[in-house]
Each structure stands twice: as C-alpha cells, then as structure tokens.
Amino acid sequence: MILYRLNTIGHIVKGNSSSVIMNQLRKLSHLHLIKQRAYVDGKWVGASTEKVFQVSNPANGEILSEIPDMNEKDVEAATKAALTAFKKWSNIRPYDRSKLMRNWFDLMVKNQETLAQIITLEGGKPYAESVAEVNYGNSYIEFYAEEAKRINGEIISGTQPTKQYFVTSNPIGVVGLITSFNFPLAMITRKLSAALAAGCTCIIKPSTDTPLTALAMAELAHQAGIPKGVVNVITGSHGSNASIVGYLCSNPDVKGISFTGSVEVGKIINERCAPNIKRVCLELGGNAPFIVYNSANVANAVQSAISSKFRCSGQACVAPNRFLVQDGIYDCFIENLLVEIGKLKMGDGSHKDVKVGPLINVAQVEKIRHLVEDAVSKGANVLIGGRKAPLVGDLFYEPTVITDIRETMHIYREEIFGPVISILKFRTEEESLLVANQTDLGLAGYIFSGDINQIFRVSKELEVGMVGVNEGIISAAEIPFGGIKSSGIGREGGHHGLREFLDYKYICVGNLN
Ligand SMILES: NC(=O)c1ccc[n+]([C@@H]2O[C@H](COP(=O)([O-])OP(=O)(O)OC[C@H]3O[C@@H](n4cnc5c(N)ncnc54)[C@H](O)[C@@H]3O)[C@@H](O)[C@H]2O)c1
Ligand SMILES: O=C[C@H](O)CS(=O)(=O)O
C-alpha cells in the first residue's frame, strides 16, 4: 500500500519518507506517548481516507510524526461515539466522575516530563515553560475533579404557598473543543476538565501545528479508565480544519462549541453555530496594554514585562501587546528593559538555558517581520532586535524593542503574537486610558503603579476581561479567564467555567397543601 503523505505545506509526497519518520520516532521511542493515530470511541484509529499529515519540530524542521488527516466522516463517527457515551457519563454519580478525573490527573502528573518534552518538540517553547504549562494545565483537572462533586441545584422559596420551586443544573450534552497551538495542553484541560465535570462528552480538535500533546493526553485519559466515547480526539491538516470544525458547528447533536484561537476563526465558528442557536464559548485574540506609571516599581515592571511578553516567544493571548510608559520613568524603564532583554538566549527549547524559542510557522514569522518593517517605514525606532535569526533557524525572530509607535502603524492595533515589545510614551493618565482602550479587543491589561487610587481608577476604566496589577502572570485555574469586545464570549476556569457546559432546569411542583 503506497501511503500518501500530506506534509504541512500541503504537497502530496509518496511513501518513501516513512524511513525518515520512523527514525525520528525511534529517537523519540522513550516518549511512549507519541502517537500516530487519532483517538475515537476508546480506540486508536486512522483517517477513513488513510490520509496523513506531518507534524514537525519548529526549532529545526525535523518530522516528529505523521497523524491522520481526518474528514467529516471521521468526525461523524466521533460524534456518534460521544452521543452514545453521553447517556452513561452524564448519569454516573458525580463522585465517580470526580474519581476518574482524579485518576487522569495523577497520570498526567506522573508523566509530566514526557508531556513537557512533547510540548517543546512540537510547539518549540523552552522546556521549563513546557513543564510550567503541564503544571498549570493539570491544575484545571485537579480543580474540576473537585468541582464535579459540587454541582448542586437550588430550592427557591416562592410567594405561592401551594407551589415549590426547584432548579437543577444539567450537562448540555456532546461538545466540540477546538484549541490553539500555543498552549497545547492547558488550552485543552481548561475546557475538557470543566466539560467532563459537568457530565458532557467531548470531541477535541487540537491545533494542526501541535496535535501530539492532545493525543498523549488522550492516552492517559484512556489509562485512567475514562470510558470510551467520553473523550475523543480528531486530527486534521490545515486544509481539513474548515470541514471538520464546520461539521461540529452544524451537527445538531453537538450542543456546544468551545473555541480557543484567533478572532478571525472565532467569527467563522460563531456564524456557523448561529443557525442551531448552539452554545458557544469563544476565547480569542488579545491586544493587552501594559501601562507603567511614574509611581511604578520599575524593576518589577521590567521583570513582569519580560516574563509576560516572552512566554512562548510572545505567542500568548494575554501577552502585553502595547507598552505605554509614562514620561517620568520612560528612560529608566527602557534602560533596564534593554539590559534584561540582552540576557535572553534564543534557540531550541530543549536546551535548558534557552529563554526564547522559535515561532510556530512561517506565516507567524512573516507576520512579525511585516509589522516591524511597516512600523519602521512610518517612523518607529528599533532599539534591539528587529530581524529574523536565520543562523538560529528558519522560524526564529530576535527579541525586539521598538519605540515611537503611532496610530498609523499596523503594530499599534494588531495582535503581534511574537517577541516584539512596542513602546509608546505618554504624559497623563487620561492619555494612557485613551490609547489603552483604542482597540476592538479586550482580553487582558496590565497596570504598574504605586498609587492605590490610580490602580482602582484605571482598573475600572480599562476595557478588558482581566487586569494584572503590578503583576505580569495572572492566569490560574480558579479565576474566570476571558475577555470582552472581540476577544470573545464566556469564561474558562473557576466555577464560571462550569456554567459553559451546564443548563438550568426549573421545576415547579404545585397543588401542595
Ligand atoms: N483567549 C484565549 O484564551 C486564547 C488562548 C490561546 C490563544 N488564543 C488566540 O489564538 C490565536 C493563536 O492561535 P492559533 O494560531 O492556533 O489560532 P487559529 O484560529 O489559527 O486556530 C485555532 C484552532 O482552529 C483551527 N482552525 C484554523 N483555521 C480554521 C478554520 N478556517 N476553520 C476551522 N478551524 C480552523 C486550528 O487548527 C486550531 O485548532 C491568537 O489570536 C491568540 O490570541 C486565545
Ligand atoms: O495564550 C493564551 C493562554 O490562555 C495563556 S495562559 O497560559 O492561560 O496565561
């Protein structure tokens, strides 16, 4: 049988690359969680067409694996499996759901190193960041394994003596979970854990660029005893995503879609779900302002800038996108920032001293290049970086600081999603708020100030879903993560995240005496 392999740039190459791939897999053989099949109805399966696509390491282009390039027929099979499983999963005792989720959590913790290696291999982020992501992602499983036991109803005391009012919370049914490339474990557990706790069954469509982590997680869910059909993972190439996700959006048996990704694709999904009035939760792009006032602790502001900006090489939805620095501490902030950026080492994330890895693909690198070149052509100044790093690898862009940003520049309004700090100087608080809110996105925002009155004033006025005050890393399993405006609909994490997968049912018992 000649295997047709659709590689990531869409060309069909005939089957003699299997030796390359098997050699690569042999090198990874200790990574027992690297899969070459998708996971449907408790079984490891290929695509009905036998098509595959390749997953590569963005640090060096090495092929890591070939996995199924699936289509609507494959998604239909997964949907049927999830529908069958829902009847039982939604009716087992919450304590039993909780126990199975706890089993999965324990296996995810036990396999932390292998999971982190897979994240670094397919996503490129430094290994230490991958370990942090595994811990962060696992905290959602732990949190919702507990929440599963506390999904209670209500008894409402009414004004009518012959009636008694009850409210129950019930799982919405089969849900589609579609996730982005940048946090391939945490973006899944943030949705999947809440959905499982609520009693829903799931069809996961991970990013085409980083699917291996999802498949590894499915293996551990299988080992944990989570029943067949409860968790399903469908994989697809860039050319297959629209049909796979379109099927999930339009099939009335799928009662909700939880999507993490770009605003552009989020809008497509929202439109596709509208005809069925399907529940949607959209976690979309950001354009976070990072405002440093004259009263700020500059050392803390600089360290926070580095930690929040260069996480995943700047490819984080909550990464600061526009740095607004007040005139009184501008020079001090810039001077200290350049010193710290000069310490950052770029390279393959599997090397322990690397702090900045590659971007995920050529499109991302070219987007960054265009944003910087456009800004420079309109008067911006590059203080450090500002160029690709071909000597390190095709997908590397140097950590960059660019100043004198103006409204006419694309970098002023667009989500950068790369290792580029763009800085504007401002004079007054009013000016900072005007610039900060001058975007149709509203996910996160950051304030660095020593004035408590200013902190509360600005926090109130910032048009975002989440505010970091004197802190650059704000995500946690207990909090309602999400944004406003075009950054999305709904929340993930905390008890708020459960509500995305639950419906209320009101029961009125009358004729009582
Ligand atoms: N708000 C959040 O919680 C959050 C978290 C992470 C990333 N993001 C955002 O995600 C974006 C980066 O992630 P990305 O590049 O993976 O996003 P993306 O929108 O390109 O892809 C997201 C998912 O949709 C799939 N997809 C791509 N094109 C599709 C199409 N036409 N139809 C159906 N599905 C399609 C992808 O395979 C992936 O699984 C950034 O904008 C970032 O801000 C937001
Ligand atoms: O990219 C977006 C993620 O949600 C970032 S975080 O790890 O949740 O902060």
Task: Please give the average pLDDT of every successive group of 10 residues along the chain, which has 513 residues.
Answer: 28 39 56 90 98 97 96 98 98 97 98 95 96 98 98 92 96 98 98 98 98 98 98 98 98 98 98 96 98 98 98 98 98 98 96 95 98 98 97 97 97 97 98 97 98 98 98 98 98 97 97 92
Between the CA of 42 and the centroid of ligand 1 the distance, in Å, is: 26
What span, in angstroms and rounded, lies between the C-alpha atoms of 499 and 487? 19
Cβ pair 501, 171 in contact under 8 A: yes
* Closest atom of ligand 2 relative to the 475 alpha carbon: 9
Q: Which of 182, 318, 464 to mutate to test the pocket of ligand 2 (most atoms within 8 A of CB)?
A: 318
* pTM of the predicted model as reported, rounded to 2 decimal places: 0.94
pLDDT at site 31: 67
Between the CA of 43 and the centroid of ligand 2 the distance, in Å, is: 30
At 412, the amino acid letter reads: Y
241-279 in b/e burial notation, b at 16+ Cβ within 10 A? beebbebbbebeebbbbbbbbebebbebbbebbeeeebb
Closest Cα to atom 5, ligand 2: which residue?
316
What CATH number does domain 288-476 carry, 3.40.50.2300, 3.40.50.300, 3.40.309.10, 1.10.530.10?
3.40.309.10
Between the CA of 482 and the centroid of ligand 1 the distance, in Å, is: 15
Q: Which of 129, 283, 415, 492 is catalytic?
A: 283
At 77, the amino acid letter reads: A
Q: What is the 3-state secondary structure (H, E, C) of 30-72?
A: CCCCCCCCEEECCEEECCCCCCEEEEECCCCCCEEEEEECCCH
Is there a shared CATH topology between the 78-284+493-499 domain and the 288-476 domain?
Answer: no
* Closest atom of ligand 1 relative to the 181 alpha carbon: 16
Helix axes 263-273, 241-250, angle to 10 degrees: 40
212: Cβ contacts below 8 Å, ≥ 6 apart: 34, 35, 55, 64, 65, 67, 118, 121, 122, 184
Q: Does residue 333 sit in helix, strand or coil?
A: helix
Cβ pair 243, 71 in contact under 8 A: yes
Q: Does residue 315 sit in helix, strand or coil?
A: coil
Q: SS3 helix, strand, coil % of the chain, rounded to 5?
A: 40, 20, 35
Is the Cα dihedral 30, 34, 37, 42 positive or negative?
positive
CATH of domain 78-284+493-499: 3.40.605.10
At 434, the amino acid letter reads: L
Is-catalytic flag, 478? no
| For the chain, domain boundaries | 78-284+493-499, 288-476
Structure tokens at 496: 């708020």
Between the CA of 7 and the centroid of ligand 2 the distance, in Å, is: 28
Report ipTM for this prediction: 0.99
What span, in angstroms and rounded, lies between the C-alpha atoms of 398 and 90? 49
What span, in angstroms and rounded, lies between the C-alpha atoms of 430 and 322? 16
**Alpha-helical segments (H) within 148-185:** none
What span, in angstroms and rounded, lies between the C-alpha atoms of 138 and 105? 6
What span, in angstroms and rounded, lies between the C-alpha atoms of 218 and 209? 17
